[in-house]
Structures are given as structure tokens and as C-alpha cells.
Structure 1
Amino acid sequence: MKFEETYTPSQSLLWFTQEPFIFRVLNKALRFQHVDILYQYRFLIRDLATQLSTQKKDEMNFHVYRGQVMTNEELQQVTKPTNQFVRFNSFLSTSRDREIAQAFAISSLIDESRQQMVLFDIEINSQINDTRTYADISQWSTFPEEQEILFMCGSVFRLTRVVQHESGLQIIELALCNENDDELRRVYEDLKHEYLSDARNISLLDLGNILKDTNRTVEAAKYYFELMNAVEDGDPLIQRCLHNLALLRYKQCDYESTLEYLQMALDLEVVSSEREESFICSIYNWIGNVFLMRQNFDRALENYNEGLKHKSKIDSRDQLGEIKLYANIANVYTYQKRYELALEKHLECLAMKQEILQDFQHPMIAASYVHMGIVYTKLKRYQEAIDILEKALDIQCKVLGNDHLDVGVTLYNLGVAYDEQKNYDRASQYYLEAVENFPINHAYFKRVQVAMKEIENKTH
């Protein structure tokens, strides 16, 4: 039977379990963020979530299991010490029967030199609310004896323990996580506020933002233009798209186009019936950033200060935009070598962040520490620089993960601090760690390579 002709929302689980092709395509798209496919199948993801939520039954705490093989690198990534949470991007199929899951892991092993047998032992506390939905789908399964429990894509689990069984099986113990109890919740809320402020046509805007943040600029631009063509003249989503197109150009160092898009967004927003002062503040901030990159410090300060005139006091998240302006003003002072003044502004900015966020483990706190560390290095206060950069690194590794670009930047700046201190061994160590976090076409990759070459020249 043809999917397009016979599919109905109430049959989403039936199709998902009975048609392996759909299962494989959708899960692969979720794992590797194939956004075109996800957009095409967005209705199915929505229907699966709805049907899973209707099938979920209250029951006592229980365990489910998933057996699979992982490459050595994948296992190392999941179980590294800084990981407190494990998130599955795809739909997660599990079984109530431990032996079935374990047998599947053993039978899937092909290359013992590159692969590990893994058993996920997942504890489900049914009293926890605000988790991703899950349900027993045995009645739809081709193999009902497996007692399959299916979790919605994006489920988050707390990593509790990793044990190596004498058989060689790696047992990873997880607990289903209350997303409101997740230490990343505040970060998620900020991202939702930034990206999901308007529910209309949000799928296209959200897809564009995901692509923008993963440096897939051509595809991101496609969705922004598609959205602008889909809405009526005067829709505020147009200036959101123009703003994000500007950020794409900014990443490409095309500052002329960046300014053009930002100016168009600004012109539309100031006359909009749904005008938002916080958004105008953001536009001026990015205009200032362009002039900062061009080393036109007077124009940068002019735009940062213009942005402050439009600061919004609606809620704390709007004040975060104001903080970015203060931080960038401090960065201008750093470029102008007015280091004491820059440090003073960064300290003020840090105090504001701490008051608003009430979360000293937030990436924005870490960003302030990094900026202060750079200034301390410029002031030759090396130990203070190292101490505060290590604090930043600790936050970033916990919240963002070891392989995030921001972690690479912090590692690089730790290398610079030790380099300036003439501790070349430690500097080299941090540079080597930093370079692993950047793609070869990234500006910091080249910057780290230059720094490592200079150390080599100094020590030989």
C-alpha cells in the first residue's frame, strides 16, 4: 500500500513499526540533522508524538534496555567524565527484556578492534513529569514478544554509571530526565526565547536557525528566503529573516552585505505595528560588531550606545541583549588598549549577568570570564588570567561539551596566557587541545597553528 494514499495520523505508530524504510530514513535524518528530510516528514514526527502521548500508561518505576554496538570513539564521547546527560536525537527503541537487548548487542558486533558491545540500562521513574513522551508499542510491533518501549526523539537521560561486565559488555546506566530539572534548562529557555518567539511559520525559521548555528549557510539562507516569500508584507518574521541573513554574511566576513541586511531589518522594525525594542537593540549591537571588526571604534561605540537607548525592561531575557551591548563596549576598550577601563566594564557586565541569570554555570557567565581573562593577559596579570579562564573552561565543558567551539577559544586563550608567561610547555599543551575543536577553515584553527609555530621557533 502507498504511504501517501493511505496514511492517517492515527496510524503513525503502525507505519513507523511496520515499514522499516520509514523508520530508517527518519531516524537517520534525526541523527545526522538532514533538515530537508525532517521538514518533509515533520507531520509524521508530530503525529508520532501525539500518538505516543495517548498510549502512555501510568505504572510503577521500571527498567528498559537497549543493546547495540558503538565505535570506540562514540563510546568515549558518550561516557566522557564531563557528560552528565545523554540526549538521543533519534527515536529510541528499547525493550523491557534485558536478555533480548543483550543478545542484540552481542549479535551486532562485527569488528572487535573498532567496536564495543553496549547495553543501555534505563531507569524510568513514572512519577517524573515533563519528560519526552514514551509508550509501550508492542501491539503495533512485528515482534510483540520484545515488549518494545519507544521514546520520542530528543529524550534526555542522566548518566549515572558505566560498568564493564566480565563478558566485555559495556553497561551504561541512565535515568530518564525531567527536562525542568536539567541543568541545561535555562540555556534551552533562552534559546527558545531567541528562536521560537513567534509560532507562525516557526518550522522554517527554526530550521534556518539550526542550520545557521551549524554553519550550513547556504541551506539556512534557503529557508530564510522561503519564509520571507511565504508571509504577507508587513509580517515581522521578514525582519527576523533579514537579521539572520545578516548573521550568515557576518560569519563569512562579508561585512558590506551584513550592514545592508541589518539596515533593511531595522527600517522595517522601527515602523512595525509589533515593534520590539529588544530586537532593535540586537540590530544595533550587530551593526556595532561590524564596525568593531573593521576597527572603526567610534562608529562601533556609536551603534552600541544607540542600542542601549532601545533597551527593554520587559523581562530578564530582554535585559540579556542589553548586557551584550555593555560587553561589546568593553571589547572596544580592549581593542583600544584601554585595558583597565575594559576590565571595569567587564566586571560590571558580569555582575549584571549574575543578578539576572541567577545561574553561575551559564555559558554567558563563562563568556565574561573569557573576556576578563584576555584583559588580564594584556595587563600581564597572568595568574589571574589563568585562574578565570579555567573557571570559564569548567563551565563550558559541563554545559556545552568538550568539543564546542567556545571551549576551543578558551583553550586557545589559556595557551596565550601561558605563552606570554613563557611557560611554553603548558602553552603548547593548550594549543594542541584547542586545535582539535576547530574545522581547518576556521580563523582560530589558523591562529592556533601560527601560535604553535611561534613557540617552535622560540624553543629551537
Structure 2
Amino acid sequence: MENQLKVYRHSLPVRLYRGQLMTLEELQLLKKSENQLISMNSFLSTTMNHKVASFYLGSPDSESDLQKVLFDIDADPNQDGIRSFADVSNMSEYPDDEEVLMMLGSVFRLNGVNMDDNKIWRLKMSLCSENDCDLKNIFHHMTNQYSLKNTRLTLFASVLIDMANFDDAEKYLRRLLQQMVIHSIDIYKSYHALGKVLFEKGDYKQSLEYYQKTLECCLTKFGINDSRVAYINNSLGEVYHAQSNMKLALESYQTALNIFKRVCKDGDESLAWCYNNLGIIYTEHRNYSKALHYLMKTLDIKRKCLPDGHPCLGNTYNNLGNVYYYLREYDKALNNYQLTCEIFKKSLTSRHPSIARALRSIGIAYEAKEQYTKAKAYYEEAFRIRHAIFSSSHSDLIEINKDIKRVSLNI
């Protein structure tokens, strides 16, 4: 599909349109992303004909909260680093629709969200070149990560995971595993990716099973002193941590750190990942001085290895905020949480669960400062994201509902 798009690539700047119905919650998330970058996690069908896009708006059910939304997209194919988009009307069953297809992963700047006189929401967007957008260095770093650690088959799953499209990622990976030979050299990558998806969905039991399968494959193929074995131990530690099994979590993190120390140079980014996780464990053990020690080591390495605004920096600021929160230094905690949220909103899709976690952390800090109205506003923003991506039984959604009910009692 991508190769076909490149063959039929549009050659001139063009204004494109897309009409669809959206919920109020989805609109609120997009409004929060105004003047920021967003990325599409699927191929995007648009049209050069404004009337065609308006026709596809249809009429929402009077009893639903669906809103009419019309995307106005400015796309210039002459920019360097732009994703391909193609006029596919000659291949379509409906050539009069003047369809233009945009490639998966296209990055846009959301320039404005407003309602027009006809009660239609208008979203003004421009296709962004990865060479001149705010996140050029971050995209370059992530591209290197993908190319080094993934085959073409698992790359697609990795993109879906980073776009928080966990249901589709799970379906894709399960189909992929059904097609792979059990002794395939790359099957461990699919096991690991599926373990990550299940972890994000809150299915820790199955996540653990796939991570353990990954570990067995890696130990057999690569031996104990291999960075891939260390990565899997880190992942196992995250599951044990989520299950509140701190003993096994600490053992897994320490195993990962010992391997990385043997195979990596001082200051390697992989060491920072281990230090970060150990800092989390010591925070929960209330050993705050040791937690700060590991987290500051993490931050020092990440600042040297990563571009400004990389989401992994956001994770560390969030964890530092947690330490200051437990030390009752709420202003320091709030500053770190706000920095985390700012980084995540610029570097992740607007519906990513990490943004919801950062918003909840800000709410917790405001609640501790007895600023209950502000706390509730951040909890509700976190709820909107979690409600859009998680099932009603997910622990994160249950948690944020409790937060909202609790803080509401003080307003």
C-alpha cells in the first residue's frame, strides 16, 4: 500500500477535507491538542471536494452526543520529509469522490478547532514535515529505535502500541503469531510486543506469560549475557511491580541492571532504564534518599542520550515528582508533574495513557495542596482519555473514578 501511494504521489499543494462524526469526549481531547502535533494510526481517507466531505457527515442520532466534524487539511508534497499522499480516484469505485489517501503515521499540526455558523466543528490541520517540525530530533531517535529493534512485521505493531491503539495491536500480533513458525528467529519480538500490549490493557497474568516465553526464547538463542535478556527482565519487573510483588520486581530489575553493566558502556541509555525502575521500587519502599539517588542518575544519563522533549525524560520527571510528593514537598512535585505532562502532550498521541497518568499526578498534587477544584479538573481530563481507550473494568479507569468521587466531596 505504501509503495502504491509513492507511485501515485500527489505533486502539488492541495487543500483536503474529511467529514466524520465524533463524540464530545473525542473533541475535547483534540481541543486540548490545539497547536500541537498529532499522528494518525491508520491510513487516512480524504477528498479534494468539500461537498463530498460534507455529505459524509450525515446526521447524528438526536439521542447521541455525536458531533459533526469537518477536517480542513493543507498538504504540500514539496516539503522535505513529508509523508506520501496520493490521488486514488482513478482506482476507486467512486471516482467522483476525488479521494486522496494519506499514509499511516502522517504527522499533522492541529492549527485550530472551532464551530462554524452551521454548527459544524472545523478542525484546521497542516501536514507536517518531520524535517522541520518541533520533534525532528525525537522522531529521528525513535526511528533509530524501531530500525534497530524491530523487523518490518513487528514495526507495525510497535507503531500501534505507541499510538495507544492496543486492541488493534493485540489482534495484529495474535494473527502474526499464528502465521509464524514456532522456531522462527524473530518470534521472541512478537511475544514481547504482545506482552507489552497486554500489560497496557491491564491483563498482567497474560502479559507475564508472554514475557516469560520471550525470556525462554532469548536465553536459548542468545545466552544470559545479552542485552535482550536484560530488556525482558526489566519488562518482567514492570509486571511484578503492577501486581504489587515488590520482591520479584526488585529481583528482575537488579538482574537486568547486572546484565547491562556487563554488556554496556557507562552512561548507556539502558542503564538509565534500570536506575529509573529501581528508583520507583525504593520510592514505594519509602527509602526516598536511595530513590532520589537512582532517579537523578537516570536523569543525568537521559539528558545526555536523548533529545529534549523525549517521552522517556517525562517518565523520569514524573517519578521524581512522586518522591517529592511523598516527602510532602508538593510544589516540587507539581513542577515535575507539569513538566512531565508538557513533554507527553508534545511527543505522544493525545489519547495516550501516559498523558492520563501525568494529568492524574497533577490532580493528586493539587488535592494535597487542598486546591480541590483544580484537582477535579485534572482528574476529569485524565478520565476522558482513559474512558476513550480502556474497558470499564480496567484498573486505571476504576482508579480515576474513585479520585473524582473523593475530591468532589470537598467541593
- Please give the range of the TM-score, normalised by the shorter of the 2 chains: 0.7 to 0.9
Query: Is this contact kept in 1: 2:107–2:127, CA < 8 A?
Result: yes
Amino acid aligned to 2:327: L
Q: Which residue of 1 aligns with 2:109?
A: 158
Structure 2 Cα separation of the partners of residues 171 and 456 of structure 1: 34
* Residues in 1 aligned to 2:163 and 2:127: alpha-carbon distance in whole angstroms: 28
Matched, 1:133 2:101: no
Deviation at 1:329, TM superposition (A): 0.7
Q: Residue 367 of structure 1: CA displacement?
A: 1.1
Q: Deviations over 1:54-90 (max 9, x none)?
A: 233655xx33332635446355554545452354533
Counterpart of 1:379 in structure 2 is 327
> What does residue range 329-344 of structure 1 map to in structure 2 within 5 Å?
329-344=278-293
Q: What letter matches 2:385 in structure 1?
A: N
Matches within 5 A, 1:211-290: 214-215=166-167, 219=171, 222-223=174-175, 225-227=177-179, 230-231=180-181, 233=183, 235-247=184-196, 250=199, 251-254=202-205, 258=208, 261-272=210-221, 277-290=226-239
Deviation at 1:306, TM superposition (A): 2.4
Higher relative contact order (CA closer than 8 Å, sequence separation 6+): 2
- Letter in structure 2 aligned against 1:152: M
Please identify, of 130-139 and 205-214, the stretch whose mean Cα deviation from structure 2 is larger.
Answer: 205-214
Distance 1:151 1:204 in 2: 16
Are the counterparts in 2 of residues 386 and 417 from structure 1 also a CA contact under 8 Å?
yes
Helix, strand or coil at the partner of 2:79: coil
Q: How does 1:30-109 map to 2 (within 5 A)?
A: 46=1, 49-56=2-9, 58-59=11-12, 62-66=13-17, 68=19, 70-71=21-22, 73=24, 77-88=29-40, 89-95=42-48, 100-102=49-51, 105=54, 108-109=57-58
Per the alignment, do residues 196 and 70 of structure 1 end up closer, same or farther by CA in structure 2, a change over 3 Å counting? farther
Distance 1:433 1:275, change over 3 A: same
Give 2:126's aligned residue: 175
CA contact under 8 A between 1:84 and 1:398: conserved in structure 2?
yes
Task: Give the secondary structure class of the aligned counterpart of 2:129.
Answer: coil
> Which residue is equivalent to 1:324?
273
Stretch of structure 1 that moved more, 296-305 or 401-410 = 296-305
Could you tell me which residue of structure 1 aligns to residue 149 of structure 2?
197
- The Cα offsets for residues 376-400 of structure 1, whole Å up to 9 and x where unpaired, read as 1100101111122112122222332
For the structure 1 residues 155 and 330, does the alpha-carbon distance in structure 2 shift closer, same or farther, using more than 3 Å as the test? closer
Q: Which whole-Å CA distance do the structure 2 matches of 1:147 and 1:451 have between them? A: 48
Aligned to 2:318: 370
Instruction: Return closer, same or farther for 1:398/1:69 CA change in 2, 3 Å cut-off.
Output: same
Change (3 A) 1:157 1:198: closer
* 1:253 Cα offset (Å): 3.0
Going from structure 1 to structure 2, the CA distance change for 1:77 and 1:90 (only over 3 Å counts) comes to farther
Q: Alignment partner for residue 70 of structure 2, among 90, 115, 118?
A: 118
Residue aligned with 1:434, SS: helix
| TM-score of the pair, normalised by structure 2 | 0.78
Q: Give the alignment's Cα RMSD to 1 decimal.
A: 4.1
Contact 1:224/1:245 (<8 A) preserved: no
In structure 1, the partner of 2:384 is 436
Shift of 1:453: 4.5
In structure 2, the partner of 1:398 is: 346
1:305 aligns with 2:254: yes
Structure 2 residue matching 1:310: 3-state secondary structure: helix
Change (3 A) 1:78 1:325: same
Check the 8 A contact 1:106/1:117 in 2, yes or no. no
Q: Is the 8 A contact 1:281 1:322 kept in 2?
A: no
Equivalent residue letter for 2:46:
S
- Partner Cα separation in structure 2 for residue 389 and residue 420 of structure 1: 13
